[in-house]
Structure 1
Amino acid sequence: MKKINLLRSVCAPVLCAGLSLSLLSGCGSSQAPAASKAESVAETAAAGTSAAKEAGTTENDDFEAKVADWKPDQNTITLRVSTAAGSTGDLIYRLIANHIQKTTGTTTVVQNITGSNGFLMATDLTSYDPSACELMLGTEALFVVAPLFNEGINVSMDDFEILYGSPSNAPSALAVPASLGIKTWDEFVEYSKNNRIIVSSNVPGGMTHIQATALMGSAGIEFGSVTDNGGNKNILACLNGDANCVVVNTTALHDYVESGQMVPLVQFSSETFNDDAWGLDPIPSVSEIGYPKIAVSPCTVLCCRKDADPVGVEAMRRIITDYLNSDEGKKELLEIDSTLTPISAEEAKEHLENEIETMKYIKDTFYK
C-alpha cells in the first residue's frame, strides 16, 4: 500500500512578553509564565498532531475509496506462469483468473511462457508498461536459481512489485513406479547398487532437476536423466519405462499415488509432508534421511512491474487474496488437490532470500 508521510510541525509561542515580565519581577515570579509557556507548547503540539491525524485519515480514506472504485485500465488482464498448461501453477491460476474475470468483468487469461526458469516470462512482462493488469507468477527458480546457475540471467526482485507470496504446500518428491516393488528410500539405495538409475525431471537448470542432482549426489548415486517441462509428462515418462524414478511436485503426483501406480519415497521439505490436500500416507523429508542441507521450501510470488499504479496493485491484491482466503476459493483449490496460503510481500521476499543459501550450497557442492 502507498506510504503516506505526515509532516508535523510544532510552532513555538512568542516568548517576548514572558521574558520581559521575568526581568522586571525577579526569578521567583517567572514560574507562572513558564507554566503558561508549557501549556501553550502542549496545546500547539496537540493541535498539530490532531491536524496531522485528520490529514492522514482523509488521505487514507481517499485511497481506500479509490481502491474500492478501481476498474482495470485494459481490455485484458494477463496472468503469466512459467509452467506448462495442465501443471499445478497453471491450474491454480486458471481458477484465480476466472475469479478476477467474474469480479472485474474484464477478460482474464493465463499465458504459459515456459523456459529458462521463468526468465522468458519475466522478459515478456517487462515489455509492457507497469500495470496491475500485467502480472506474472515468479518463483524461486526465477529469482534464486536462474541468476545463480546462469550468469547471463540478471533478474532482481527489486524490479518487480510483489502483490503477495505463497509458500509451496506441494514440495517436490522422489517417487518410483509401484511395479519396482520399492517402498522406502533405503530400498531404493539398495536397488541403485545393481541397477542404473534414470531420473525423470524437468530440464537441466530447472528446480526438480537440481533437486534430483542434489539428492543423488548426497547419496553417492550415479544417474542419468530424462527431461521435459511439465510434471505429468515427467511421471508418464517414468511409467512408460523411460526412467525408473521421477522428481516432481506432490500435487502432480497425488492421483498416481492414490491409484497405486506410483510410490513416493522422500520429499524435499524440511519436515514430514502430510498436507490436507495430500490426504495420503505421510512422506518423509530429506532431513529425516540425513540430508537437511538440501531441504528447500519453495515460495511463489505474484508480481507486476515496479511503479505500477498503487491503487490498482492494492485492488488486485485484495481481489485475489480475498478469494484465496474464502471458503469458495479453498474448496475449488482442494478440488485440484491444492492449497494456497497468501503471505505479505515482505514475508515472501524474506522467504526467497533465505532459499539463496540453500541453492548456493547445492551449486557449490554438486555442480563443481
Structure 2
Amino acid sequence: MTIRTCLAAAIAASALFSTAAAAQEREPYPVDTVTIIVPYAAGGAGDTVGRIVADELSQRFEANFIVENIGGASGTIGAERAARAPADGSTLLLAGNAIITTAPHLASVGFDPLADLMTIANVSEAPRMLVASKGLPVSNFEEFAAYGRDHPGEMNFGSVGVGSTGHIATVDMLANIGIEANHIPYSGAAEVVQAVLSGDVQFMLDAAAIPQARQDAVTPLAVPGDNRMDDFPEVPTLAEAGYPSIRGTGLQMILAPSGMPEEVVTALERALQDASTSPEFTDILLRAGVTPRYMSGSDLQAALQAEYDNYDQLLSTMGLKQ
C-alpha cells in the first residue's frame, strides 16, 4: 500500500469518526482558525498525521484547524515559519524529531528549535526497519552482527543521503555493534530499496524497506524503537538486541511558538492525550501507516534534548557537524 493510498484510507476513516464525534461538546479556543504547518510536501507520513490531528482538534475545539504544507530545506523552512509566528494559538507545527535534533547540527537553520519552539505532545512515530539483502548469508540480527564483525569493510549500506536520519542512525548502530561498513548515498528511498534488492548494498535502515520485508524480498533483522511491529512479531527491537540508545524512528509531534499561553498549551496537550486513548483515533493512525505513541510535552522536551545532545556528539565524530 502506498503512502497516498494510506492517506486516502485514513482521511476516509477520519471523516466517519468526525461525524460520530461532532456531537461532543467543543472547548473554547482563543482564535477561530488555527494553521498547523507541516514542513514537508503533501502526501507523506507527516502530512497524513497533520491532517488527522487537524481533523481531531477541529472536533474538540471551537476553532477550525487547517494544514499548510511549507516544505524545503529538510523541513526547517516551515519550522522557522512556525517559530516566528505569533504565540497566540493561531499557529502550530507538526514536525519530525530530525528538524529539532539533527538539522541544527548539520547547517544553519536560522532559529533555535529547542528555544524558539515549545513541545505540546507527541502523536505517533513512523517505524523503520533494518533489513539485509537476500544475498547476504544471514537470517537474523545476531548473525548479521557476527558477519559484520568477521568481514570488516566488506559490506555496503544505503541511505537517502549524507546526514539523513537513516544514515546517522545506521552509523550509530554500526559503531555500537563494532562493524565497519561503507556508506552509499542515494537520492531517494526507492533507489536504496532497489540497491538492496539487487545486492549493490547489503543492508539499509529505513521505513521504505518494510513493504519489501512483507513480500519476503529482503531479510528483516531488527527495528529501532520501544516495541516490536505487530506484523513482524518475530523481529526484535534493537533495544532487545542490547542497543537501547539507537532509535532511528521518526516522531510526529505537535509544537508551537515559544511563549504560547499556558492555558492553551494545557488544553491542546489534554486533548491529544485524550485522543491517544481513543480506539477510533489510534485506528486512523494505524491505517495511515504510523504507530500511535503519545508523549506529554514535558516528556517530549526531555527526549528531544537528550537526542539533540547525542547527535551533537555523534555528528562531530562523523565529521558532519557544521
With normalisation by structure 1, the TM-score equals 0.64
Change (3 A) 1:365 1:332: same
Q: CA deviation at 1:303?
A: 0.8
Give the counterpart of 2:27 among 46, 51, 68: 68
- Corresponding residue for 1:183? 139
Which of 323, 340, 344 lines up with 2:275 in the alignment? 323
Question: Does structure 1 residue 259 correspond to structure 2 residue 221?
Answer: no
- The structure whose residues are more often helix, as a share, is 1
Aligned to 1:363: 315
Number of the residue aligned with 1:56:
none
Residue of 70, 91, 106 corresponding to 2:48: 91
Query: How do residues 274-293 of structure 1 correspond to structure 2 at under 5 angstroms?
Result: 274-276=228-230, 278-285=231-238, 288=241
Counterpart of 1:248 in structure 2 is 206
The 1:163–1:188 alpha-carbon spacing in structure 2 relative to 1, beyond 3 Å, is closer
State which structure, 1 or 2, has the greater radius of gyration over its C-alpha atoms: 1
Q: Structure 2: which amino acid aligns with 1:121?
A: G
- Residue 298 of structure 1 and its aligned partner are, at CA, apart by 6.3
Contact 1:226-1:243 within 8 A present in 2 as well: no
- Larger mean CA deviation between 174-183 and 154-163 belongs to 174-183
Distance 1:266 1:102 in 2: 38
Larger RCO, structure (CA 8 Å, separation 6 or more):
2
State the 1:179 CA deviation. 5.6
Alignment of 1:1-368 (within 5 A): 68-70=27-29, 72-74=31-33, 77-101=34-58, 106=64, 108-111=66-69, 113-116=71-74, 118-150=75-107, 154-166=111-123, 168=125, 170-178=126-134, 180=136, 182-185=138-141, 186-187=143-144, 190=147, 193=151, 197-218=155-176, 219-228=178-187, 234-236=192-194, 238-239=196-197, 243-249=201-207, 252-269=208-225, 273-276=227-230, 278-285=231-238, 288=241, 294=246, 299-367=251-319
Paired residue type of 2:140: T
- In the alignment, the residues of structure 2 paired with residue 242 and residue 78 of structure 1 have an alpha-carbon distance, to the nearest angstrom, of 44
Contact 1:135 1:304 in 2 (8 A): yes
1:197-218 per-residue CA deviation (whole Å, 9 max, x = no partner) reads: 4433233222211112223445
Structure-2 change in CA distance of 1:305 and 1:236 (3 Å):
farther
Query: Which amino acid letter does the alignment assign opposite residue 155 of structure 1?
Result: D
Letter in 2 for 1:201: S
Alpha-carbon separation, structure 1, partners of 2:162 and 2:268? 35
% same residue: 18
The gaps in structure 1 that reach 5 residues or longer are: 1-66
Unaligned runs of 5+ in 2: 1-25
